């Protein structure tokens, strides 16, 4: 039986890899997990293992935070050491983080097969570190697990061999299907925050481009306050530690009407998202997740790597300009939310395992 190494490091990777890991356990496969430690706060890391019923990773490399070069370099060196010892036949990485690229690079240089889950996404914005990571990872992978036909087209256009490409759907759909009922039953988040179903906006924003520059973060926070003044619904914003750090550094105050809270575990977040009137975000995963949950989404960026969500009508790209955001919110609130899900039917994780074991 092939030996599989799974490499992850951030909360989004833990969530989107979770059903693959659940299946490896259930099928008693020969596998191990390397956690790079890119995310390490309890509410950015361990809580997801608890919520999603995942065993502790075999390795935690404790790379922590740093500049892109530091983080990528540390991951590369530490992952290589483990891979030399474990000798997997194939490794799986997911998405577009520094963990994704450095993990894939370490394995590719050791002549191990690399499977890239969520391959073929493109924003065509090279100012985003994620775009660099996803392009490079696709080009050193042996299996490209594309969530949609469009993502397959993207990598075919870049000259990648057709026989490396598989359209599987997105594993976020698997995670949502597997956890939604449990979240609805177990999470008390609406009660704890004193919110009524369908009567609040949910906000998340942590992209480097939006929060690491004072002017942009100021603009983002001020636009949130304007949204509150216009729509007069409570706004809840679980704040990523990157954003929290920058708000403090730039001495920016909490916008009026916006409740800044600590990052949430998956069950609480899923419940909060499922019951929101609207989601405002710059997250990649939340655009896809909101589409799956049939919650309208407005993206606070100039572009997206998930244009399928815009095409089916679940998402609008609004940037940080107030007028465009108001227009997008108005349009999204008028929708029937009956769009189709372009990211599959919840069977992506199973297909990925079958393909790498074949
Ligand atoms: C990373 C990914 C991004 C993804 C996000 C998921 C890259 C280049 N970016 O961004 O694509 O959307 O994860 O959430 O890989 N921090 C803590 N505690 C933690 C984690 C982070 O305090 O547990 C703070 C540190 O100050 C750190 C900053 O957040 O410098 C940024 O963390 P980092 O992992 O570098 O990038 P993310 O913004 O989380
Ligand atoms: N998420 C969460 N708690 C939070 C914010 C997000 O559990 O407080 C989940 C969310 O459900 C989604 C994933 O984290 O599945 C998105 O991760 P993130 O926005 O950090 O990364 P990105 O998708 O931008 O890479």
Structure confidence at residue 341 (pLDDT): 97
Q: pLDDT band for 124, please (50, 70, 90 cuts).
A: very high
Nearest residue (CA) to ligand 1, atom 29: 242
Nearest residue (CA) to ligand 2, atom 6: 269
- Determine the 3-state secondary structure of 80 from DSSP: helix
Q: Where are the alpha helices (DSSP H) in 232-347?
A: 241-249, 266-274, 284-293, 307-312, 322-333
Instruction: Give me 29's structure tokens.
Output: 């496969």
Q: pLDDT band for 302, please (50, 70, 90 cuts).
A: very high
User: Is any atom of ligand 2 closer than 6 Å to the C-beta of 203?
Assistant: no
User: Is any atom of ligand 2 closer than 6 Å to the C-beta of 284?
Assistant: yes
Contact 95, 15 (CB under 8 A): no
Rounded Cα distance, 263 and 242, in Å: 11
For residue 213, what are the contacts with CB-CB under 8 A and spacing of at least 6?
A: none
- When pLDDT is averaged across residues 45-68 and rounded to a whole number, the result is 98
92 DSSP β-pair partners: 6, 115
Structure confidence at residue 249 (pLDDT): 98
Structure confidence at residue 136 (pLDDT): 98
How far away, in angstroms, is 168 Cα from ligand 1 center? 27
Rounded Cα distance, 121 and 134, in Å: 7
CA atoms within 13 A on the CB side of 100: 30
Output the pTM of the full model: 0.98
Structure confidence at residue 180 (pLDDT): 98
User: Is any atom of ligand 1 closer than 6 Å to the C-beta of 148?
Assistant: no
Q: Which atom of ligand 1 is nearest to the CA of 245?
A: 26
Q: pLDDT band for 348, please (50, 70, 90 cuts).
A: very high
Q: Is residue 240 flagged as an active site residue? A: no
Q: In testing the pocket of ligand 1, which one of 7, 206, 212, 289 has its CB within 8 Å of the most ligand atoms?
A: 206
- Residue for token pair 């509410």: 43
Phi-psi region of 331 (alpha: psi -120 to 50; beta: other; left: phi over 0): alpha
pLDDT tens string 200-255: 999 999 999 999 999 999 999 999 999 999 999 999 999 999 999 999 999 999 99
**For the chain, what is the mean pLDDT?**
98
Exposed/middle/buried for 192, CB within 10 Å: 0-12, 13-18, 19+? exposed
Q: Which atom of ligand 1 is nearest to the CA of 13?
A: 6
| Pairing assessment for the beta strands 297-299 and 278-281 based on DSSP bridges | parallel
Q: pLDDT band for 339, please (50, 70, 90 cuts).
A: very high
Contact 355, 143 (CB under 8 A): yes
């Amino acid at each position: 039986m092939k030996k599989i190494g799974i490499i992850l490091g951030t909360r989004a990777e833990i969530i989107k890899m979770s059903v693959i890991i659940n299946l490896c356990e259930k099928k008693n496969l020969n596998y191990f997990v390397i956690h790079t430690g890119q995310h390490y706060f309890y509410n950015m890391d361990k809580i997801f293992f608890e919520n999603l019923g995942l065993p502790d990773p075999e390795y935690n490399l404790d790379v922590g935070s740093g500049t892109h070069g530091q983080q990528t370099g540390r991951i590369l060196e530490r992952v290589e050491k483990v891979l030399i010892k474990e000798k997997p036949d194939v490794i799986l990485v997911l998405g577009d983080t520094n963990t994704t690229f450095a993990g894939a690079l370490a394995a590719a240089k050791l002549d191990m097969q690399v499977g890239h889950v969520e391959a073929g996404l493109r924003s065509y914005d090279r100012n985003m570190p994620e775009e660099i990571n996803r392009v490079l990872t696709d080009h050193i992978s042996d299996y490209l697990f594309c969530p949609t036909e469009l993502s397959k087209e993207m990598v075919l256009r870049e000259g990648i061999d057709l026989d490396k490409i598989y359209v599987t759907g997105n594993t976020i759909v698997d995670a949502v299907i597997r956890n939604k009922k449990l979240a609805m039953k177990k999470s008390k988040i609406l009660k704890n925050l004193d919110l009524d179903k369908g009567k609040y906006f949910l906000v998340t924003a942590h992209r480097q481009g939006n929060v690491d520059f004072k002017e942009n973060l100021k603009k983002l926070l001020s636009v949130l306050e304007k949204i509150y003044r216009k729509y007069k619904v409570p706004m809840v914003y679980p704040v990523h530690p990157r954003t929290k750090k920058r708000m403090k550094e730039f001495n920016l105050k909490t916008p009026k009407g916006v409740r800044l809270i600590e990052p949430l575990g998956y069950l609480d977040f899923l419940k909060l998202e499922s019951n929101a009137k609207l989601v405002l975000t710059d997250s990649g995963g939340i655009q896809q997740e909101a589409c799956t949950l049939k919650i309208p989404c407005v993206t606070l960026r100039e572009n997206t790597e998930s244009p399928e969500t815009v095409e089916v009508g679940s998402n609008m790209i609004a940037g940080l300009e107030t007028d465009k955001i108001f227009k997008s919110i108005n349009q999204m609130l008028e929708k029937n939310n009956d769009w189709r899900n372009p990211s599959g039917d919840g069977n992506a994780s199973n297909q990925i395992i079958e393909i790498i074991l074949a």
